[in-house]
């Protein structure tokens, strides 16, 4: 007769399994990834990696398959000269190209351990962009650059940007293994070094656009490789694991980061508190869905001056809608209010066959300032967006990536030379500008700032 193992027995089995995993790792075998993770390094060889330097990943990701294959293959001699596997550990001699994953990643959680030597200067590039810094915090030559503050921060962020220096000094003494955990959602990064939080949801700046005027700098790419950057002295890596974060979890992380103070403006059941094009939408099961072939502006009865709005939206192919910002309650929200913040399929041209101007793309202050494009999730998935309006400025963050930061008071050129009479409006309603497509919205909330 079979019997169920006791809780004590199960604990013993789990403890023995954990001990066996540690013994395997210490014996030179690859450790088993935690549940949900996959190993980037197999513990035996460099399969799945190639070599790149500090170079804009957008350039090689735009290459043809043949061009990229040539670039990748040409890097392997350098990789073999400076990288090796020793007893289940990745070893770099402090020289050469950086180890770069074949696969590209969007939102992810990364775990790894490293062991550095004095005078080392290393890091982890996220989506091919520098970097989560790893360096000798006692190196006198680097003290002027802030090395004494420690590793585990986004040192290549622009001066004054959050995340450039770690929240705490969490480095271990040389010769000991350090544990690094990184979560990346959109352009936002969280880092734990040796289980201490060193970066708390900071935006990672695009190092490769640093020489451009601020208004022209693009966010970091939505996808890209993981790179292990090394120079200065030997460094060892092990237990390099990654988990891709699905959309629903990413939204949860971002909404939690946004903090408290938000008040729902849609009760999930009906349109109490709303006015305007009520007959153009269906409100049920927590979702407002625009009805096909119906337009108009649906807006809150309440008015807002400075605020942060957060919401989820889902688009059909070619879907077109907009957020009415400081809308007066009548007229075209693209011109009568402060602006219409465009909600539009990123593949609009492909899915409709119609031309699109850059001042019309998703997230743009319609007809005035263009947003950065390419940060939506695939059609049929929910996207998370925050819109911050303060004075004459509007900022749009899509799925964790800032795609617009504009001061509308400075705009002097308009699409089709059509003036914008409402851009200086200081207060108005919040709403949706429907354009006949079944665009859906949910989890709509606003935090008043003024």
Tell me the per-residue pLDDT of 386-411, one tens digit each, with 9 for 90 and over. Answer: 999 999 999 999 999 999 999 999 99
More confident residue, 419 or 399: 399
Q: Facing residues of 178 across strands?
A: 114
Check whether residue 120 and residue 184 sit in a common domain: yes
Q: Is 197 exposed, middle or buried (0-12, 13-18, 19+ CB in 10 A)?
A: middle
Check whether residue 389 and residue 271 sit in a common domain: yes
pLDDT class of 9 with cuts at 50, 70, 90: very low
Interacting residues of 420 by C-beta distance below 8 A, sequence separation 6+: 335, 339, 367, 368, 408, 411, 414
Check whether residue 278 and residue 234 sit in a common domain: no
Euclidean distance between CA atoms 295 and 298, whole angstroms? 9
Give residue-wise pLDDT tens across range 67-120: 999 999 999 999 999 999 999 999 999 999 999 999 999 999 999 999 998 988
Check whether residue 60 and residue 178 sit in a common domain: yes
Mean pLDDT calculated for residue range 338-345: 97
User: What's the N-to-C CA distance of the chain in angstroms?
Assistant: 71
pLDDT score of 5 more than 50: no
Check whether residue 208 and residue 283 sit in a common domain: no
Return the pLDDT at 10.
32
Token digits for 450?
A: 């003024």
Token digits for 382?
A: 């929910």
Check whether residue 192 and residue 285 sit in a common domain: no
pLDDT score of 8 more than 50: no
Number of H helices, E strands in the chain: 6, 26
- DSSP percent split of the chain into helix, strand, coil, nearest 5: 20, 35, 45
Number of domains into which the chain is organized: 2
- State residue 315 phi and psi, 5-degree precision: -110, 145
pLDDT score of 27 more than 90: no
Check whether residue 32 and residue 119 sit in a common domain: yes
Give residue-wise pLDDT tens across range 185-227: 999 999 999 999 999 999 999 999 999 998 889 999 999 999 9
Q: Is residue 6 part of a domain?
A: no
Contact 88, 25 (CB under 8 A): yes
Euclidean distance between CA atoms 429 and 163, whole angstroms? 35
Q: Is residue 321 part of a domain?
A: yes
Q: Is residue 327 part of a domain?
A: yes
Return the pLDDT at 7.
37
Give me the CATH number covering residue 138. 2.60.120.560
pLDDT score of 136 more than 60: yes
Q: Residue holding tokens 């293994």?
A: 177
Q: Is residue 415 part of a domain?
A: yes
Q: Is residue 342 part of a domain?
A: yes
pLDDT class of 175 with cuts at 50, 70, 90: confident
Last-in-domain residue among 245, 280, 297: 245
Q: Is residue 428 part of a domain?
A: yes
Q: Is residue 250 part of a domain?
A: no
Range of the domain at 297: 261-448
pTM for the whole thing?
Answer: 0.91
Mean pLDDT calculated for residue range 5-30: 41
Check whether residue 229 and residue 309 sit in a common domain: no
């Amino acid at each position: 007769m079979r019997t169920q193992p006791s809780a004590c027995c199960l604990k013993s089995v789990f403890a023995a399994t954990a001990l066996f995993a540690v013994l395997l790792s210490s014996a030179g075998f690859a450790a088993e990834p935690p549940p949900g993770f996959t190993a980037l390094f197999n513990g035996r060889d460099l399969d799945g990696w190639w070599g790149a330097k500090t170079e804009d990943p957008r350039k090689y990701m735009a290459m043809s398959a043949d061009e990229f294959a040539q670039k990748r293959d040409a890097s392997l001699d350098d990789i073999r000269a400076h990288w090796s596997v020793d007893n289940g550990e990745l070893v770099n001699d402090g020289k050469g190209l950086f180890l770069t994953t074949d696969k590209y990643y969007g939102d992810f959680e990364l775990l790894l351990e490293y062991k550095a030597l004095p005078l080392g200067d290393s890091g982890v590039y996220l989506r091919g962009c520098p970097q989560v810094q790893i360096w000798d915090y006692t190196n006198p030559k680097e003290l002027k650059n802030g090395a004494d503050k420690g590793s585990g921060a986004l040192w290549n962020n622009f001066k004054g940007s959050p995340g450039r220096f770690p929240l705490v000094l969490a480095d271990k003494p040389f010769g000991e293994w350090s544990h690094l955990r990184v979560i990346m959602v959109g352009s936002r990064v969280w880092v734990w070094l040796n289980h201490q939080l060193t970066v708390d949801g900071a935006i990672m700046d695009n190092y490769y656009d640093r020489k451009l005027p601020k208004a022209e700098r693009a966010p970091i790419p939505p996808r890209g490789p993981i790179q292990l950057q090394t120079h200065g002295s030997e460094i060892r890596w092990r237990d390099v694991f990654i988990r891709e974060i699905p959309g629903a979890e990413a939204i949860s992380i971002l909404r939690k980061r946004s903090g408290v103070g938000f008040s729902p403006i849609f009760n999930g059941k009906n349109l109490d508190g709303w006015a305007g094009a009520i007959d153009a939408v269906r409100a049920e099961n927590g979702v407002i869905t625009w009805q096909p072939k119906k337009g108009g502006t649906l807006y809150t009865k309440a008015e807002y001056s400075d605020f942060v709005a957060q919401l989820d939206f889902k688009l059909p192919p070619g879907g077109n809608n907009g957020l009415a910002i400081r809308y007066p309650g009548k007229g075209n929200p693209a011109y009568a209010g402060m602006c219409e913040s465009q909600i539009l399929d990123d593949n609009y041209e492909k899915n409709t066959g119609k031309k699109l101007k850059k001042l019309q793309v998703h997230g743009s202050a319609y007809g005035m300032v263009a947003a950065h494009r390419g940060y939506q999730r695939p059609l049929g998935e929910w996207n998370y967006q925050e819109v911050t309006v303060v004075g004459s400025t509007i900022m749009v963050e899509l799925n964790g990536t800032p795609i617009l930061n504009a001061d509308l008071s400075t705009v002097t050129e308009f699409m089709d030379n059509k003036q914008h009479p409402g851009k200086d409006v200081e207060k108005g309603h919040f709403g949706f500008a429907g354009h006949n497509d079944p665009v859906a919205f949910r989890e709509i909330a606003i935090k008043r700032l003024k």
